[in-house]
Structure 1
Amino acid sequence: MFKFLKRLFMLSLILIICIGIWGHQQGLTVADYQDFIADFYEKYLREGSSSQEEETQEIGEQQETAPRNGDRPAPESSESLLSPPRNPFQQIDRHARNSPPAVETTVSTLAAYLEEKTTTELDKARSIYVWLTENIRYDDDAYNSNTYGDYSAEKVLRSRQAVCEGYSNLFLALGREMDLEIEKITGYAKGYGYKAGTRFKVANHAWNAVKIAGEWRIFDATWGTGNGSNVRGRLVSKKEFDDYWFNVDPYQAIFNHFPEDPQFSFVQPVITLAQYERLPYLTAAYFKLGFDGAAIYRKAIVDQQLQFPEVYSTKTFVKVHSAPEYKLLPRDQTIEFDLFVPEGLKVAAIDAAKNWKFFERKNGRFRLNYVPQKRGEVKIGVQHKNSGKSFETVLVYQVVNRQQNF
């Protein structure tokens, strides 16, 4: 054991000397060495040891933290809480969810019923989307056995279960009955079971596009129906309505939906499948906050080194008016944060040393000019009326010395 430790020490010493000689030739400073060591730790040691933690965070889609004893609390505000944005489709949603069995016998009778409360193309698409997510369940057995049956629109209407093929077929049929300009799209999705760096060999998903007010938008009723988890190696889906996958900007959808026929991506410039595979994995949670899909897409296709903050769903409405869209934050530089959290009580930035900086609250807007002073993670946490005394993490950034990907 002693000989092994001695050899390890000698190898480490040689490595340090070699790095020192190379660094001297490159003109590196002490700060550069500190950054190199910290970056090496973050990239290789920390990531390799936190996979279970990251998996747990992903499953829960949220983190909760609370201030340490002794930390200065945020000043209490006398402002009353606001209501989250009102659903503009309440009447249409209610009508779609209460369809009587008598109208659900054929595609044409169902389409006629769903169209009753609509006036616009978007209304019609909404009525279809809500009915599908409410009445069709995902066919776990077919997915787990890799045995797929008839998923025609008529069969799905009768059986009330489908995989993506069936959801998109019925969406297409109903849309055509309601005179929508609609397409069914097959392609490659970064969905259930996806791992970063996956190479796609065959198409694995289907969704729809509808032209709304002259522009093509993306609709995915399959993903809008709920989500899935792996239970002992088998998919177990959970029905949970997700409003995000209704009327999606193509520049947001392109990060996890790529069509077999690139013309149906509806983005410019058009990319290849290989480029899509290299795009960063950005989920709905990121874009729900309000980040600009088009700007991020155009930068991501030319800069593959971009890193993005971790994003977690919360039990309350959060919209970003101003916040860095990329992961790395420069130390000792002012960064503007401006969040709209109508049901929010407090918002805080928590650095790696557990120092809390609280945002100023006014009319549901939380603002902070934040100057990060500690290398490492910075979490943006929200306490709201549904979180008790805990803070739910919304965003996680990384503070660094040198400017990278800002």
Structure 2
Amino acid sequence: MHMKNTIKLIIFLLFCDFTLLSAEKLPTVDYKSIAAEITKGCSKKNDQARAIYRYLIQNIAYDTDYKIRDADECWKQKKGVCQAFADLFIKLCEPLNIKCILVTGFAKTYDHIPGTPFERHAYVLVEGDKPNRYFFVDATWGSGTVNNGTFARSDDDMSWFHTSPVWMAFSHFPYEEKYQMLKKPLSFEEFQKLPGFVPDMEYMGFDGEKLLEGLRNGTILSLPKIYPRQKLPFRVVQIPMTRTLKLGETYEFTIQLPEPTKLALTQNNEFPFNKVVQGTQKLVFTPFLPGEVSISIAPPNRKTYSTVLSYSVPEPSKEEYEQLIKKNPYYSPLIQDIDGYSSNIPLLGFDGRELIKAIQSNQIEALPQTFSYDKFPLKVIDVPINRDLQKGKNYRFMVTLPPNIKIALFHGTATITDWETRGKLRSINYTPKTEGKLSIGAFDANEKRYYIILSYKVK
């Protein structure tokens, strides 16, 4: 399967052309009755504010014409820009004696490109159950997103209700410093450098305070690309906190999955790890090629994955390549560029130095197609290293495999299982007499089927 990043970059609802609302303008909407209906059964201020927020994000759309800016018109038309959302939220809180502060400033999206202008934005500080204790509410961003001029409503996004100042700091910068609500307020220059993280990253296991402090003091220089808003529960315990991974270095990824989930680690569309897991899963991985490394998840019954983390593996310098090849010949471009090379080649035990010699002497045009599975610890001892085999020529296949696992050679309609067995060592001599595919497979007793591990072409 060709793995693609299934997450689309979307534009959050930012556009606000702030206008002064006339203090003398009398409301034409009975907000007292509306607020009473929306908050029916809620006695505490926090619960009432939550009910109002939820009502707005479920019933008010973003005005993609950017015309509706006040509460009355927003209520009547059931749409508005950020100023209208904030104004309507405040108007509904007033009859309930919930104190609110309209906050205006700049905002940036998760996919904001550094150096590009910020949009102006409006949101609300709300005094909850405890006097003089305020929390942030941004019903505009909670309502949904705009992509190419079309509003798409969110799926009950509560991450912008009672949002902590730390998470707000990544994306919202008020004109008045005091409304950052941080012990150590950010300068505008610091805000410009921060990534536009969103608060539901907290549900993914990220500590906002540590991220903010690390980015401010320079202990965190870069971060992986993080794709929040996952519908499946997914929490990081420990991951490399950097954007780039080095070729040949080993990294650990510890992840928690509360329910059975397909977890895949991919590099350049190959799957070094891909299985259904639950609980805490520790992955140990060494990048074997320059390119992209991704962690993706999916429900057990779905084929399409959602990427949650991605890293880049840059091309090493000539000197770095030379050092890597001394340690491990598989990092040689000679091997990596040969047709058929994949991460399965070293996993199956092919001798890298012998492969380099064969390539340099023009003995290899393409490697056999290979597959590896955790449940089949097969290692090659002596097998043809060219994908193309000659009809009528005798070949030897020798591998190691636990004695309790059956092995077979498949060629045309023939299935040959009478391999010579000595402990883990399995061997067979075979002369293909017809053209076509020739494969080696291991038997899964639970599934009652063979899995192909090596595949050749007889010509």
Report TM bin, short chain: 0.5 to 0.7
Q: 2:101 aligns with which of 156, 159, 183?
A: 183
Cα distance change on mapping 1:119 and 1:328 into 2, 3 Å: farther
Find out whether 1:107 has 2:51 as its counterpart.
no
Q: What value does the CA root-mean-square deviation take over the aligned residues?
A: 3.3
Q: How does 1:6-405 map to 2 (within 5 A)?
A: 57-59=7-9, 105-141=29-65, 143=66, 148=67, 151-191=69-109, 194-200=112-118, 204-212=120-128, 214=130, 215-230=133-148, 235-241=149-155, 242-283=157-198, 286-303=201-218, 306-313=221-228, 316-324=231-239, 325-329=241-245, 332-342=249-259, 344-352=260-268, 354-358=270-274, 361-362=277-278, 365-374=279-288, 375-385=290-300, 388-399=302-313
Residue by residue, what CA displacement relative to the aligned partner does 1:251-275 show, whole Å, maximum 9, x if unpaired?
1111111101111111231012222
Return closer, same or farther for 1:355/1:236 CA change in 2, 3 Å cut-off: closer
Contact 1:132 1:221 in 2 (8 A): yes
Q: Greater relative contact order: 1 or 2 (C-alpha under 8 angstroms, separation 6 or more)?
A: 1
Q: Contact conserved, 1:322 with 1:337, CA < 8 A, in 2?
A: yes
Equivalent residues of 2:261, 2:276 under 8 A apart: no
The 8 Å contact of residues 332 and 373 in structure 1, kept in 2 or not, is answered as yes
Shift in CA distance, 380/60, structure 1 to aligned 2, threshold 3 Å: farther
Q: In the superposition, relative to structure 1, how do residues 316 and 115 fare at CA in structure 2: closer, same or farther (>3 Å)?
A: closer
Partner deviation per Cα, 1:74-133 (whole Å, 9 max, x = no partner) = xxxxxxxxxxxxxxxxxxxxxxxxxxxxxx951111111223222433311210111111
What is the CA–CA distance in structure 1 between the aligned matches of 2:206 and 2:111, rounded to whole Å? 25
Further displaced range: 331-340 or 171-180: 331-340
Give me the whole-angstrom Cα distance separating, in 2, the residues matched to 1:167 and 1:267.
24
Aligned counterparts of 2:196 and 2:272: Cα–Cα separation in 1: 29
TM-score, with length taken from structure 2: 0.56
Deviations 1:141-183 (A, max 9, x none): 2x2xxxx45x333332223221100100111122232232322
Distance, in Å, in 1 between the alignment partners of 2:268 and 2:129 is: 47
Q: Using the aligned pairs only, state the percent identity.
A: 24
* Distance in 2 of aligned mates of 1:372 and 1:268: 40
- Counterpart residue type for residue 58 of structure 1: K
SS in 2 for 1:247: strand
Question: CA 1:184–1:314 in 2, change beyond 3 Å: closer, same or farther?
Answer: closer
Please state how far the C-alpha of 1:139 moved relative to its aligned partner.
Answer: 1.4
Q: Distance in 1 between matches of 2:178 and 2:205?
A: 26
**Structure 1 residues 317 and 177, CA gap change in structure 2 (3 angstroms):** farther
Q: Distance in 1 between matches of 2:111 and 2:310?
A: 23
Q: Is the 8 A contact 1:106 1:154 kept in 2?
A: no
User: CA 1:389–1:192 in structure 2 vs 1: closer, same or farther (change >3 Å)?
Assistant: closer
- Structure 2 residue matching 1:268: 3-state secondary structure: coil
Which secondary structure state, in structure 2, belongs to the residue aligned with residue 379 of structure 1? strand
* DSSP-derived class of the 1:127 partner: helix
3-state secondary structure, aligned to 1:381: strand
In 2, the alpha carbon distance for the partners of 1:152 and 1:313 equals: 31
- 8 Å Cα contact 1:192-1:228 kept in structure 2: no
Counterpart in the other structure of 1:3: none
Higher-Rg structure is: 2
**Residues 192/108 of structure 1: CA separation in 2 closer, same or farther (3 Å cut):** farther
1:167-207 per-residue CA deviation (whole Å, 9 max, x = no partner) reads: 0011112223223232211110114995322245xx61101
Mapped partners of 2:175, 2:297: distance in 1: 40
Aligned partner letter, 1:121: K
Q: Distance in 2 between matches of 1:121 and 1:134?
A: 20
* Structure 1 residue 218: Cα displacement: 1.8
Q: Distance in 2 between matches of 1:183 and 1:347?
A: 44
Distance 1:307 1:115 in 2: 44
1:311-348 deviation line (CA, Å, top 9, x unaligned): 23566322314032443446534524122242x43212
**Structure showing the higher helix proportion among its residues:** 1
Distance 1:247 1:319, change over 3 A: farther
SS of corresponding position for 1:244:
coil
Partner Cα separation in structure 2 for residue 106 and residue 333 of structure 1: 63
Question: What is the number of equivalent residue pairs in this alignment?
Answer: 291
The runs of 5 or more residues in structure 1 that have no matched partner are 1-52, 62-103
Letter matched to residue 340 of structure 1: L
When residues 250 and 371 of structure 1 are mapped into structure 2, their CA distance, relative to the original with a 3 A threshold, is: same
